[in-house]
Amino acid sequence: MNIHEYQAKEILRKFNVPVPKGFVTTSAEEVETQMGQLKSDVLVVKAQIHTGGRGKAGGVKLAKSAEEAKQFVKSMLGMTLITHQTVSKGQQVRGVYIDEGSSIKKEYYLSLVVDPKLSRPTFIFSSEGGMDIEEVAKNSPTKIVKFDIDYTEGFTSFDSSKLNNGFNLSKITNVAKNIYDAFIATDASQIEINPLVETNSGNFIALDAKINFDDNALYRHPEIVELRDYDKEVKEEIEASKHRLSYIKMDGSIGCMLKSAGFAMATMDIIKYYGAEPANFLDVGGGASKETVTEAFKIILSDSNVKGILVTYLVV
């Protein structure tokens, strides 16, 4: 489950992760009434959608006055943003977040994810923040540090030292510790801060924040479920979650129903190899009932782009 940036920052604030002051608005008229709570000459106006790459798509603007911020809000509300992470139809902007600008000395990247091979939380840190981490990994892999944490030991001093020794930035340790606490307490599957900035005063602030949660643990967090924005989710994916199906919508025309994630991805590669494009990823899992498979077919066929369905079921 994904949430918006402003919601992620509210959660991080509860765990003492420093974030800028800000507010979310759904109308330009609200801007003037809310602006009094911000104390900054520069304002950052951000479209709230469930995807990265907003800046390149025109969804992040810098405003030097309340009036300019108001105009940006007007132009963003109702627009459809298409980024490299959205499907071709993009996502419509229904909310805009405005927060205080910061005096930036240096931008960093910091995230915490679950390493599927180690089954452990793993920090990813880079001195190159504010850009796609995939590009950094490709072009400057030595600028990325990874280290995992043993669940039984928690965020130990050894982990802190490794982070500090790599970049000699002791204050990041406290931020990382608080992010780890938030990660464990909320059953998150990813917390990404990009950029984490060092200000001219030497403090660190999470200028952007993204949090994904483990769907299997949501029953423990009704307060997080309340944050879910169904308008920003694909209707087929919402329906699939009701039947505990792992489904991701794509832009192709060949529907896929498969067993096991690895087998599914290999089959999708074969579809692309022969010149077609998969319409979805759908893993029915082991022991799927007749009713579950029936619902899976309904979900695939609800996509008007689907021209055919490939069903593969590996029996061992």
| Alpha carbon distance 262, 247 (integer Å) | 14
Alpha-carbon gap, residue 121 to 182, rounded angstroms: 12
Kindly give the residue spans of alpha helices, DSSP state H, lying in 187-289.
222-225, 235-242, 261-273
Annotation says 233 is catalytic = no
d(CA 255, CA 273): 16
Which of 84, 83, 82, 66 has the alpha carbon at shortest distance from 28? 66
Q: Which member of 109, 180, 236, 295 is catalytic?
A: 109
Buried b (16+ CB within 10 A) or exposed e, 178-200: bbbbbbeebbbbebbbbbbbbee
What is the DSSP secondary structure assignment for residue 232, as one 8-state letter?
A: G
Active site includes 109?
Answer: yes
CA distance 183 to 12: 9
Using CA atoms, how far residue 106 sits from 41, 157, 195, 249, in Å, is 20, 25, 9, 37
Which of 205, 130, 128 has its CA nearest to residue 174?
A: 205
Which of 5, 100, 128, 192 is catalytic? The answer is: 192
C-beta of residue 39 within 8 angstroms of C-beta of residue 100: yes
Query: For residue 298, what are its two tokens?
Result: 């309904």
Q: Known catalytic residues?
A: 109, 192
